[in-house]
Every structure is written in structure tokens, then in C-alpha cells.
Structure 1
Amino acid sequence: MTRFRRILVATDLSDRSGQAVRRAGLLAAEHGARLTAVHVVPFDVEPELVDFAAERLRSHVEKYAPEVEVETVVRQGKPASVTVSESVERAADLLVVGERGGHWKRGVLVGSTTENLVRASVTSVLVVKNQVEGAYRTVLLAVEASRHAAVAAGLGTSLTPGADHILVHVSVVVGEHLMRMRGIEEGDLDRLREVSTERVRPRIEELAGDLEPAPSAIKVESGEPRGVLPELAQRYGADLTVVGSGTHFHLGHALLGTVAQHVLRQAPSDVLVARG
């Protein structure tokens, strides 16, 4: 089971980012973790404005995370790159960010700074998209039939041990779109989907057996994962969806996979993009 000893939360001091601070504070209190809040200002800001930002950051943290002691730091530079560097320097076990800052218009997708941060981070990133109302209650654990998927799901259960966990795998029939174009009957496709899901089910049940706490339900569905997973989050009323990050390279950088990217953008819940 993963232990969370150091949590870093990034904020632009807006009320939207305040929800990320609130979630980070609750998680730090639950896990007994050390919490640091970072605010990034441009390089060309005058020294007195940096001091003012530091005062505002302390007030911001006291408002949204009064239950824990929080170290506050103000850094200068580009928000995404500076925050990622800060998480590495502090050996953070979790990075918490808001979906978008206070300057974004309503209705837009995940902010570019947040998505760039998730893409570049070597630390698991929790993106807070909703108003915080206590601990997470229902967590959707999205897995592939792979070792990394098991690591991601384990990170999710470790972070939210008191939640109801639903383990979900979405099975893809290879070449389904091409077969439909060639006139394959829908009934034949349904049988292929059934075979595909039943073939992978034992592996998903095996993954479930390694999780602590054990999931309350295992769901093996058929379809396109990037579209189905946000729908399942909606269907089961999940307030957190956990996904693996994507493809990892030898330099430590990870490409944000298309499934993770779509879930991050489309899921109605908060999203944990797990590294491992």
C-alpha cells in the first residue's frame, strides 16, 4: 500500500484553486502527510509584489485548509514547469491542482496550465474539478490488463481507503470500426464483444484480488475507453476517477495517453492521474 508522506498543492489564489487546497488539506490530515502550498508569479514581478503574494498565499491557505499546518512558498517562473520542479525537489508523493484557475471562462475544458502540468509531472497528480464536500465516497478505478494498471488502482485505493471502490475495465474489440464498415451484423459484433469481455475478466478479477481495500464491485464493459469511462463515472456517481498516465519513456517523462487525457477533460468527477 502506497504511503502519502508529502503532498504539494499548487494554487493561483482563486476560489477555484481554493478547492484544490481544501482537498489537499483533507488528504494531508487523513494520511498524516506534510503539506506544502506553492504559488507561482512571473519572473518580472517586483520584489514587493512577491512579498504581497506570500501574504495572500498564507491567508488563502488559512481559509481553505485550517485543519492542518501548511508550509507556503512563492516561486517565480512558468506555473507548470516551476510546480513540477517543486514537486521533484520536495519528493512529493502527490501533486494536487485545480481544474483551472480563476481567470478561465466557465464552460471551457481543463485549463492548459493544468493539462501541461499533468503531462510533464513525474508525480501522480490529483485534479480537483468539483466543490469539496468531505472525503471521497465513490471512486472509479479504471484499469487495463497490465501491471501499471494495478499500480494505478493501488494508488487510488491507498489514497481513499474509506471510499467505495468500483474496478472498471473497458474491453476493445480490435478492428470493430472496420468490421462495421464492411457490413458485419450488429449481432455478430455483440458476440465478439461478449467473447472479448469474458476473456479479460479473469485478469481483472486477479487485479482486484491484489487491492486493499478490495473493490465493492468489478465491471467489465465493452466499447471505446476514452468515451465509456466518463459515462461510467456519471452512471455510478463517482466523485473521483483514477486512471494510469500513459506511455513512459526512459528519460522519466510520460506522454499523457489519449484515454487519460479524455477522462481528464470529460469526466464529471475529480481525476487522479497515477504514475508508477
Structure 2
Amino acid sequence: MKPRSVLIPVDLLPNSERVVARTALLPLAENARVTLLHVIPKLRPRQTRQRIEGDAHKALDALAGKLARKLPGNARLKTVVAAGIPAAEIARLAKSVKAELIVMGRVGRRALREHFIGSTAERVIRQVRLPVLVVRLPSRGPYQRPLFALDDDETALEVLSFGLRMLPDLRKPLPLVHAYDPPIHGFVYPSLTPEQSWEYRRHHRQQAIHRMAMLLSSARLSGAVPGLEEVRWRHDVRYGSPRRVIPQAVARKRADLLVLGTHGRAGVAHALLGTVAGDVLREVPCDVLVVPPRQDAETASR
């Protein structure tokens, strides 16, 4: 099912044009609701805040005009200016409009701050538990070089299901990358011979390939992922951490869209461990669609 309600938070910087242009190219449902949001800081005096709010409304209306010309005629478009902390306001409005997808930008790097706190996009991903498309590339047309990063866990089916909805053509083979990282490494246990280490790694690679094949086969047989039966996959199963393997695959494939899942850690766990999705988001130059597990999305909509 195509998204019926899309939320587009924009910071009104030049990258906002890319976000709006990308949204216009997405396959949306009939009569889809599209909401443009800008969050201003809570300022005093009131007169200053009113001026800023007026400027924001004018800029949003200009973006909305450009988007309206590209959206299907039956799409419903509105603009919202809110005041507060961006991630919190985005999460609040996403729940209010029953968003099924958030499309937002991410520009620049604030390395030290993002290492400990995360970008606004990362904070939104952790808070909303909804699919979030983070746009970085200029939008010249529908995605042509997507890459799916799958793990053999509860996120896989949701990653496949939502990711395939974002693509216009499922007839050509799609690349799939999976990272496997066996618990025993030769450099940690030096008594293992190179041959034993290689054999151990080969055994785990075969197991990883088998798990991916079984996952896709089960999904096809169950009909859990619409459109999956049309897809031919090009498997790329690599040894190493997902934080290293996925960005390398993005570079090799020259991907314009990376689709991956997240468990969305929050609080202390995130501060200490981070998330694979957050780390990859900082590294790759392409657009990234981050998809949460189904139960998280359902919980967030209550």
C-alpha cells in the first residue's frame, strides 16, 4: 500500500528544495495528504516570534506552490509552522496527521555533536518509529540504483515491504547486501591457524547466505511482502561489521537509495552504543530510507 499521509519537515535552507522535489517523485496513494512543516524556536519578545513565524509561512507557501504543481491533482497539501524543539514537534505532528512516511533532509556534519547527540534526522528516527526518508541527492527522477541492506531479524520484512513501495520498477535485479560477523576472530584468538580462521569464516558465510535465501523464500510463499515475487535479487554477503560493509556496498553500487532497518535505541543505550542506521546515515552520500520494525510502528500510532 502506498503512503497515504506524508510529513515533510523542512529547515528552509537550500536543501529543502531537494526534499520537496523528491517527495513529488514518490509513489503516493490516491488522495494522499502531504504536510509541510517548519519548526521555529520559541522566542521572546512575542513581536519577534510573530515576525519569524510570518517569514516561515511565506517560505513554506512558496515551497508548497512548487510541490503542488508536481503532485497529482487529488493530493491534499497543507503547511504548518510550529514552535519548539524540531525533533519533538516533528514527532508530535507525525502522530497528529497519522503520517506513514516522513521525508526530510540532512545537510553538513557536526561531527562531535552528532557523535553524542545525533542529527535531527537521527533523533526523529528514534522518536517516531515510522519510515523516514532522508534526502541528500538532487532529485532528477525516480530512484534507479537502490540498495537493500538486510539483517535476518524482525526488521527484514518491513524493510522489504516498505522499500519496494518506493521503487517504480521491480523488473530489473535489485542488489541486497548482508553483513555477517562471526563471534570468533583469528586476531582475537591467535592460536587459530589461517586455514582454520578461513574455514570458520566460510562456514558462517554459507550459513548467512542460507538464512537470507530462507527469509526471502518464506516471505514469497507467505505473501507477506507485496511485489516480492516479481523481484530478482543480487546477493552480496560480506564478512564484517554492518557499519563498514554497508557504506562500502553503497560506494561499489553507486547507490542513489539505501534501504535499511533500525531497532531505534534511545536514551543511554543509544549514547553508549549508537545504532547501525545512525552510523551508516552519517557515512553514506546517498538518500537513506530507514524502516522500523512493525511492532514499533504500530505502537507509535496508538
| TM bucket normalised to smaller | 0.7 to 0.9
Provide the C-alpha distance between the structure 2 equivalents of 1:38 and 1:259, rounded to a whole number of angstroms.
27
Change in CA separation of 1:86 and 1:6 when aligned onto 2, cut-off 3 Å: same
Alignment of 1:111-122 (within 5 A): 112-122=119-129
Q: Which residue of 2 aligns with 1:8?
A: 7
Partner of 1:169: 178
TM-score w.r.t. length of structure 2: 0.79
Q: Which amino acid aligns with 1:231?
A: Q
* 8 Å CA contact 1:22, 1:132 repeated in 2: yes
Q: 1:93 to 1:230 in 2, by over 3 A?
A: same
Aligned to 1:123: 130
- The answer to whether the aligner puts 1:51 opposite 2:58 as a matched pair is no
Q: Among residues 248, 267, 287, which one is paired with 1:231 in the alignment? A: 248
Structure-2 separation of matches of 1:202 and 1:65: 47
- Cα pair distance change 1:232/1:73, threshold 3 Å: same
How many pairs are equivalent? 265
CA separation of 1:31/1:166 partners in 2, compared to 1, >3 Å: closer, same or farther? farther
| Alignment match of 1:159 (pick from 162, 166, 187) | 166
Aligned: 1:73 with 2:72: no
* Conservation of the 8 A alpha-carbon contact between 2:265 and 2:275: no
**Structure 1 match to 2:299:** none
Aligned to 2:206: 198
Structure 2 stretches lacking a partner, 5+ long: 220-224, 295-302
Instruction: Summarize deviations over 1:189-224 as a string: whole Å, max 9, x none.
Output: 222221111112222113334352424312222211
- 1:93 corresponds to: 100
Relative to 1, partners in 2 of residues 1:64 and 1:234: Cα closer, same or farther, differing over 3 Å? Answer: farther
Q: Residues 18 and 64 of structure 1 are in contact (CA less than 8 Å); yes or no, is this contact kept in structure 2?
A: no
- Deviation per CA, 1:163-192: give whole Å up to 9, x if none: 55222211111132xx31332334332222
Residue 99 of structure 1 aligns to which amino acid in structure 2?
Answer: R
Contact kept in structure 1, 2:262 and 2:275, CA below 8 Å: no
Q: Taking structure 1 as reference, are residues 105 and 189 closer, same or farther at Cα in structure 2, changes over 3 Å only? A: closer
In the alignment, residue 166 of structure 1 is paired with which amino acid? P
TM-score (norm 1): 0.86
Q: Secondary structure at the match of 1:217?
A: strand
What RMSD in Å do the two structures reach over aligned CA positions?
A: 2.7
TM-superposition CA deviations, 1:94-130 (whole Å, max 9, x none): 0011013xxx579999772222222222211111111
Of stretches 238-247 and 6-15 in structure 1, the one that deviates more from structure 2 is 238-247
Out of 147, 171, 196, the position equivalent to 1:140 is 147
1:231 is displaced (CA, Å) by 0.5
Task: Please report how far the alpha carbon of residue 135 of structure 1 lies from its aligned counterpart in structure 2 after TM superposition.
Answer: 0.6
**Per-residue deviation, 1:48:** 3.6
Residues 1:241 and 2:276 are matched in the alignment: no
1:247-270, CA deviations, whole angstroms, 9 ceiling, x for partnerless residues? 579xxxx96962212211112221
CA drift of 1:51 comes to 2.3
Structure 2 SS opposite 1:146: coil
Which residue type is aligned with residue 272 of structure 1? L
